[in-house]
Structure 1
Amino acid sequence: MNITLPPVFTLSKLSFLITAFIGSQVYAQTQSSTHQIEEITVTAQKRDQSIQDVPVSISAYDGAFLESLGVAELDMLSDITPGLVIQEQSPNNPGFVIRGITSDSGSSQAAPRVSIYYNGADVSRSRGSYFELFDIERIEVVKGPQATLFGTAASVGALSVITRKPQEEFGAEIKTSIGNYSAETLSGFVTGGNSQVQGRFAFSYRQRDGFIRNIAGEADSQNPDGYDQEDMHGIERTAFRPSLRFTPSEDLTIDLVYTYEKNDDSGTSFKNGLYAPTGGDTSPFSFVEMSGSPVSQSVLGNDGLGVERTVEDINLTLNWDINSQLTFTSITAGRQFDSLEVFDADGTQAWFLEFAEDAQGDQFSQELRIVHQGDKLTTIAGVSYFTEDGSQAVPFSTEESIFLNCLGVFAAFAQPCIASDGSVPILTPVLTEGAAQVLPYSLEFENYGETDAYSAFADVTYAISNALELTAGLRYVREDKTSGYRSDAPASVLTGSELFTVDTDGQIFRAEEDYDDWLPRFNMLYILNEDINMYATISKGRRSDVLNVTSVRGEDGLGERSVTEVPAEIIWNYETGVKGQALDKSVNYNLSVFYQDYSNFQVTLLDDDGVAFAADAGSATNVGAEAEVRALLGVDFEVFANLAYLDATIDDDSTNGNLAGNRFRLQPEWTGSLGMFYATQLAEGYNFTSSLVYSYRSDVFFEPANAPISGLDISEDAVSLVSARIGIAGEEESWAVSLFANNLLDKEYLVDAGNTGGGFGNPTFVAGPPRFYGVEFKMHFGE
């Protein structure tokens, strides 16, 4: 294994960091013993534990830490968490990457790899897993397979978000901000109650104009009389969360939480890398001319490009302390999402690849578990049920001659897809001898997925001595799956057959199958002394089998059912690490190294028609290391740093086909960040506050092929970003005013490339956010 330090970590810079860290330890050693990092309690093992006592790699942040950095979106966690990358094209299409393994498939027939937990319930389907971060108690990022306690979706890790619960004392907060791109936010909460019933209401509203101009519909565009599209990447997101806590006795707590979120965003800028907008260029960071479909409302469901998405979630959690050693927990949860995203997949002014995705899903889960904690033996046992019914419909709109010409079918006419002046040649009048000026064409295909998963699990930890604990756990899971597919694809006038996909003649093709597996884990925790713990773990992860149903052309020329099964992706994770604290708890740190062995590694590819499908890429290997450190340099100054290295590839074996030797999609070799907080009293009643975060990510490939498309590179070089906050606060932060900036240096970078257009030979590129800045005001009332 060759380990090459990234350019950001040259010898001189590394020496500086080492010197700074050593200096911080010396400085911290001179401080009062009262300056200690607050201990974080986590529930990654289904019980309250200090993060240092959990024998797995875990990063955890409380709400105060997140607020001090201005973390309001899931993808911002990437900047502070080693081994985590969250890509957000839109709230409808997030990608979660833990240790180089991506989970972002929107197909109802495919399973996620990363468990997203919301108040203890699995919400992992990608189209429903994005949510706003407001009024958060804690976030835990657990790395490595966690299937024994979190379920099969946690085949490579889990991200768990816990919201703040009601309290008896009155408290309230209001926070608002304004910024560039006409950004406005408003959020807050109010809570209070009595000894038996407490309530809380939290809310969030954010809106911002798009940062990529879209000239479609303007006077200088090719369609000045067409629909005036909004600028891309604009957002309008509304969310609220009422919750109740019932405490009829000191042994029983019942939490009822309802969450509603509504997204109305202007959509993603898929900039074509081959053809420029009128008067523009192909840079992903300049304006676009994404005009969409002239019949968008009737075919795609909306006149304009963008995302309309609604998510509702309800959660009922009961915790009963039966006695001092035995606790019973019940978590009942339901989640529903409905999203429509209309997008211009070719990213040009041509009526070429105009798509929508109408995704819907209903989830219900029930978990029952008991935890017994004795002097030496801790036992966790439970059962769970998860059911999901989802669909993903994909309507498509084009003009026949434009579609075929842009694919190169009419090369003999020597007409470009888009001319140098930005105009779009339409060959229909010539091809039909004047019988038609345009030939609108539309089709729609849809996949369905129904899953019922039944699990039983047990996990036992035994303290052999005061220094050594051993854990063994096992989950049995059974999945009943039904997959479906339909395609409404009429014959093209010019070709006499469907432009792509095969029509199912009004039928829904279905297939059913059952799967089961045993998922173990084995952990060892060795307490070297009161400050240092060492651990080792072996665990098995499993991404569920894909029951893929589609249509193919039969011998009679008609569509017939095609069923393929992609076997379950199996991961064995071998890991060891050390967690510790030093200098009277003013410094804490953790370090881990791991080796992951994959069989039947699942990838998402595009067929010749640009339609995504799951495939088995064979065996794969992932080797890496992660490190985190956090230190108090006195009462006013705190620093943190993390670094992760990954060497993750599909094994270079001839049996693994064309992808052999390739790196995983969205997998950076290096990720790291440095951050600091500084706060001090300016005068009586006034405090100065500040934070600064630097993050680094090395180069990534955006497609499993690791290869150019139509001669264009589908990758991104290393990216470094800086964010900062500075402000003034009152005593005990009863009020605060802050200036903030994300991407402070206005770095241009990509968040994705290739995309649906790449499947048709027209790769598109998605720009990352530019510098966002503004001012924020917060007022707190009560406790």
Structure 2
Amino acid sequence: MKHIILAAVSGLAIAVASAQAQAAPVGQATPADNASQGAATSSADDERPGGLEDIIVTAQRTEETAQKAPLAIAVIKPEELIRQNVTRAEDLSRVVPALVATASGGPNTTFFLRGVGNTTNNSYSDPAISFNYDGVYIGRPNSTQGFFYDLQRIEVLKGPQGTLYGRNATGGAINVIPQRPEVGVNSGEFQASYGNYEAVQAQGAVNLAIGDTGAFRLSGAYVKHDGYLSDGTGDQDQKSVRAQVLAELTPNLTTRIGADFSHQGGVGPGSFIYGTFAFSPPVAGYVFTPTPQLGPKVGVHDPRTEAFVQTRFIPGAGRFSEPVNSYPSSDNSVWGVTNETNWVTGAGKLTVQAAYRESFIHSLSTTSNFRGFRQDEGNDQTTIEARLAGKAGPVDYLIGAFLFDENIDSKAAINQLTVLPIQTYKTGTNSKAVFGKLGLHVGDGLTLTAAGRYTDDTKFMNGVSDVYTLSCGNPMLPPAQDLCPAVPLIPLVFTAADVRAFYAARGILVGTNGVQPPPVVNGARVLNSRVVIDSTLETKKFTYRLAADWQFTPANLLYASYETGFHGGGFNFGKGLETYKPETIEAYTIGSKNRFFGNRLQFNVEAFYWKYKDQQIAQFGTDFSTPPISVFYTSNIGRSVIKGADVDLDFLLTPTTRIGGSVQYLDTEYKSYTVTASVMGPVPNFDTNACQITRTTIYTIDCSGASALFSPKWSFNVNAEQTIRLDGFKLVAQGGTRWRGDFFAATSYQPWVISKAVFQSDASLTLAPESDDWFVAAFVNNIEDKRRITQSNVNATLGTQSAIATAPRTYGIRIGGRF
């Protein structure tokens, strides 16, 4: 708790140094407008001189203040994104305690909100958190990068959004909202920074007036830094650009066209080996051995790791491993166009938004210490949404329709040294929905709300997975096991023809589609099994929300709601695991948003209780092929209950001193958690204290009672800010710390996959003139230089456990200005 005491003492010291409040320079938070982590401000009607200001949000598809929106929402302003060095999707977890966002290998990002999410590492499963950019639902987790510059705000909606938002928002929604062109304004702004790891960041924007009724805005960003690990992995190389044109065609008719492009290059996320595991029959479980010589800075391609890998014996191949001899790479492009038209009519405001987006993914990821996960994918999606929002007497109404059409053409190869699935498939989704919301103002500040959405989802899959498995004769345990010390492991190839040609040249036979296992020649053989999917899944579902809110004073709100949601089913390339069902949720919420002391203290609190049915979990395991194949698949594990509370505080102690923070308490439990595996494969790698494993004709793994993944019991952020006025200048000091409790970072529930809690603090000092024409700042992030695990990965071939970790300590200088 020493960090809490230090934070309190620091806040007190800053308060002692308080002086007259001044607006901060471009890119820096001020006591009047820093509203991160949901600490949004009250309505304009409630503002007092020197008090907290207002943030307008569109979380309910209409404009309203964050403090008057009767739902759980964290609002992150661009100043906070810059201060916390948020440049990609996984960085969002730094500023929202309820959110855990992790890099999942290659361009993929995994989101968990309040213990709900899914590790969607492939394109035939969908995320449980809806990611929306500029009002457009983004279907692929590998297409959520390149948006984090020149933003108006980010809204993180906690809990199911089963009525107003796109698809699959069972856990919540993330809305990234860019700055829009401003009519009648000619202006520009820029920011740039340089730091350790040769980090260079730059972003800027120019706004140009087009006559009296139009505007053009051009913005861009460049982010690059060296790898955080010894092998050069964990780097970033990203370029992005956005252009928008806004036209006020009539006083009541406005249209905006936007286009954006982003390219992600470099190496990509990196990982390190932190231990090995082996099955130990006397203790009927797995034994873990740490590898302290390979710490969180030693990447999997470091010569030290390569040497260690060669000491690992591979039973199936009958030999010790050889060097992995691969290196990751990224060459990913995403672009899109959108048109949003707003027409104010006598019946209300009609909004129509159409968008088209494409992504091209070419990546080789090695974060699981595999030889390589190669992904070549093209994706296009079309969305159209229309909404009419209006008011008739005491009733507010909103009606709308939504269309989403996605098509994916993908080739993937997951080389695990002795196992190589080669997947070629086309998949996609067509989703249609109609939705509506009615709000009845019954008087004395009380509003009753009813909302509903009918969704018709159709998902198709047409593809083949050919799996090649290297086998050394009799793969039994020593001393009966055959040894093949000279047989080569599967090379870094990505086609079936290359696999066959490689082993044919060495006199080793390769099977064909599992029809007949080839004989053992030269001590080894390569088995081949095939999974073919040509299927369609259709889900029709009505979800709804019932709510009441009471604005019992202009600055105090009470609200309660009941909401349902669903997340569609999908496909897997695994024998006996080809499909999984939709999951559903029921969510109960009660909360209050408040302002006190002349609009200087904001205190928001919310309690929630969620019930999941047929909850989906993605994990590595074995399928029911002969022999069983290691696959990454999604299954319906059963039921879970999630409950907890959020508290947000924002306090303007003096006109120049501000403190704030957010706390989340989370209590999660899988009421039923059951998965199965083939008895022909190894004993499932689950902790026998957390999960019961029984063997009949199949393995049944029951982890009922376990807590949810990526779900720390306690999480909090604490921030302090002080503005000091000098002679013609001002100095803004900011500091904060965040803490996330322990959570399981993998489905095995082994003690060694727990991500241990750490404090990670940041600080900055900014100097600027009173005119705010420019600023210069020094900053440091993760002062403690603590790197906690964000995702733990298993390599069953080598018996190694690897992990992706948070960024190390970073520091640098930032400058900026506006004109």
Report what 1:516 is aligned to.
540
Which of 352, 357, 360 matches 2:375? 357
Task: From 625, 638, 652, give the equivalent of 1:618.
Answer: 638
Alpha carbons 1:199, 1:243 under 8 Å: kept: yes
Deviations 1:25-55 (A, max 9, x none): xx99xx9951111111111111111112211
Q: Match of 1:49?
A: 64
Is this contact kept in 2: 1:640–1:676, CA < 8 A? Answer: yes
Please give the alpha-carbon distance, in whole angstroms, between the structure 1 residues aligned to 2:737 and 2:468.
53
Shift in CA distance, 732/38, structure 1 to aligned 2, threshold 3 Å? farther
| Equivalences for residues 254-403 of structure 1 within 5 A | 254-274=255-275, 281-289=293-301, 304-323=327-346, 326-345=348-367, 347=369, 353-397=371-415, 403=417
C-alpha displacement of 1:657: 4.7
Cα drift, residue 110 of structure 1:
1.7
Q: Is the 8 A contact 1:82 1:628 kept in 2?
A: no
Separation in structure 2 between the aligned mates of residue 21 and residue 731 of structure 1, nearest angstrom: 20
Partner of 1:637: 657
Q: Decide whether aligned partners of structure 1 residues 106 and 286 sit closer, same or farther in structure 2, where only a CA change above 3 A counts.
A: closer
2:311 — aligned with what?
A: none
Shift of 1:773: 0.6
Rounded to whole Å, the distance in 2 between the matches of 1:103 and 1:478 is 22
1:446-461 paired onto structure 2 within 5 Å: 446-461=424-439
Show the counterpart of 1:545: 569
How far does residue 447 in structure 1 lie from its aligned partner after superposition? 4.5
CA distance in 1, matches of 2:646, 2:797: 35
- 1:575 and 2:616 are equivalent in the alignment: no
TM-score, normalised on structure 2?
0.78
Displacement of 1:517: 0.4
Residue 379 of structure 1 contacts residue 459 of structure 1 at CA under 8 Å; is this kept in 2? yes
Give distance in 2, aligned partners of 1:185 and 1:571.
41
C-alpha distance in 1, partners of 2:189/2:88?
Answer: 19
**Distance in 2 of aligned mates of 1:39 and 1:551:** 51
Q: Is the 2:276–2:801 contact (alpha carbons within 8 Å) kept by the matching residues of 1?
A: no
Return the offset for 1:155: 1.1
1:654 deviates by 7.8
Query: Which of the numbers 641, 647, 658 marks the counterpart of 1:627?
Result: 647
**CA-to-aligned-CA distance 1:173-194 (integer Å, 9 cap, x gap):** 1222111111112210111112
Shift in alpha-carbon separation, 1:69–1:232, aligned structure 2, 3 A = closer
Q: CA deviation at 1:565?
A: 3.2
Question: By how many angstroms is 1:75 displaced?
Answer: 3.2
Change beyond 3 A, Cα 1:585–1:501: farther
Q: Secondary structure at the match of 2:93?
A: helix
Structure 1 residue 118: Cα displacement: 0.7
The Cα shift of 1:91 comes to 6.6
Change (3 A) 1:101 1:281: same
Unaligned runs of 5+ in 1: 1-6, 215-230, 294-301, 405-440, 553-561
Matched, 1:679 2:717: no
Alignment partners' CA distance in 2, 1:35 and 1:687: 18
Cα distance in 2 between the residues matched to 1:702 and 1:481: 29
Assess, with a 3 A threshold, how the Cα gap between structure 1 residues 551 and 50 changes in structure 2: closer, same or farther: closer
Cα offsets for 1:51-106 (capped at 9, x unmatched):
12211111113334444555433333323323112223557121111111123303
Structure 1 residues 579, 451: closer, same or farther in 2, change over 3 A?
A: same
Pairing 1:651–2:671 present: yes
Q: 1:607 aligns with which of 610, 621, 624?
A: 621
From the superposition, tell whether residues 345 and 517 of structure 1 become closer, same or farther in structure 2 (CA, over 3 Å). Answer: same
Whole-angstrom CA distance in 1 between matches of 2:349 and 2:604:
30
In 2 relative to 1, CA 345–241 (structure 1 residues): closer, same or farther, beyond 3 Å? closer
Q: 1:479 aligns with which of 448, 452, 457?
A: 457
Q: State how far apart, in whole Å, the 2-side matches of 1:581 and 1:55 are.
A: 15
Counterpart contact for 1:108–1:447, Cα < 8 Å: no
Letter in 1 for 2:362: L
Alignment partners' CA distance in 2, 1:104 and 1:94: 8
The 3-state SS of whatever aligns with 1:642 is strand
Judged with a 3 Å threshold, the aligned counterparts in structure 2 of structure 1 residues 448 and 463 are, in CA distance, closer, same or farther, namely: same
Structure 2: unaligned runs, 5 residues or longer? 22-31, 33-46, 278-290, 307-324, 471-502, 515-524, 623-628, 676-699
Alpha-carbon distance in 1 for matches of 2:526, 2:403? 39
| Matching residue of 2:605 | 591
Give the SS at the match of 1:550. coil
1:309, distance to aligned residue in structure 2 (A): 1.1
CA distance in 1, matches of 2:429, 2:420: 31
Partners in 2 of 1:280 and 1:66 — Cα distance?
34
What is the deviation of 1:465?
0.7
How far apart are the structure 1 equivalents of 2:420 and 2:100?
36
2:163 match: secondary structure: helix
Q: Residue 265 of structure 1: CA displacement?
A: 2.6
Q: Displacement, 1:329?
A: 0.2
Distance 2:725 2:377 in 1: 51
State whether residues 239 and 260 of structure 1, in contact with CA within 8 Å, keep that contact through their aligned partners in structure 2: yes
* 1:378 shift after superposition: 0.5
Deviation at 1:243, TM superposition (A): 0.8
The equivalences for 1:74-93 within 5 A come to: 74-89=89-104, 92-93=107-108
Contact 2:119 2:618 in 1 (8 A): no
Distance, in Å, in 2 between the alignment partners of 1:465 and 1:9 is 47
Conservation of the 8 A alpha-carbon contact between 1:149 and 1:457:
yes
Alignment partners' CA distance in 2, 1:476 and 1:391: 28
Taking the aligned partners of 2:574 and 2:755, their CA distance within structure 1 comes to: 35
Q: Is the 8 A contact 2:367 2:803 kept in 1?
A: no
For residue 802 of structure 2, what is the aligned residue in structure 1?
A: 764
Judge conservation of contact 1:391–1:447 (CA < 8 Å) in 2.
yes
Corresponding residue for 1:774?
812
Contact 2:233–2:299, Cα closer than 8 Å, also in 1: no
CA contact (8 A) 1:687 1:730 kept: yes
Give the structure 2 partner of residue 565 of structure 1.
579
Query: Against the structure 1 CA distance between its residues 358 and 649, is the aligned structure 2 distance closer, same or farther, given a 3 Å change threshold?
Result: farther
Q: Does residue 568 of structure 2 align to residue 529 of structure 1?
A: no
Partner of 1:210: 227
| CA spacing shift, 1:736–1:714, aligned 2, 3 Å | same
Judge which range, 15-24 or 536-545, deviates more.
15-24
1:694 to 716, 727, 737: 737
The percentage of counterpart residues that share the same residue type is 21
Deviation at 1:270, TM superposition (A): 2.5
Compared with structure 1, are the counterparts of its residues 654 and 35 closer, same or farther at alpha carbon in structure 2 (3 Å cutoff)? same
> Secondary structure of 2:702's match?
helix
SS of 1:148 mapped into structure 2 = coil
Q: Closer, same or farther in 2 for the Cα pair 1:539/1:9, shift >3 Å?
A: farther
Q: Partners in 2 of 1:719 and 1:315 — Cα distance? A: 41
* Distance in 2 of aligned mates of 1:466 and 1:677: 38
Report the Cα distance in structure 1 between the residues aligned to 2:260 and 2:739, rounded to whole angstroms.
34
Count of residue pairs brought into register by the alignment = 681
Q: Deviations over 1:376-430 (max 9, x none)?
A: 10010011100111244322447xxxx45xxxxxxxxxxxxxxxxxxxxxxxxxx
Evaluate the alpha carbon distance shift between residue 526 and residue 256 of structure 1 in structure 2; reply closer, same or farther with a 3 A threshold. Answer: same
For 1:724, the equivalent position in structure 2 comes to 763
Q: Where does residue 196 of structure 1 map in the other structure?
A: 213
- 1:304 and 1:488 mapped to 2: Cα distance? 24
* 1:304/1:68 CA distance change after superposition, 3 Å: closer
Range 62-71 or range 764-773, more displaced: 62-71
Q: What's the Cα RMSD here?
A: 3.2
Change (3 A) 1:462 1:95: same
How far, CA to CA, are the matches of 1:38 and 1:576 in structure 2?
Answer: 25
Matched residue type, 2:655 = V
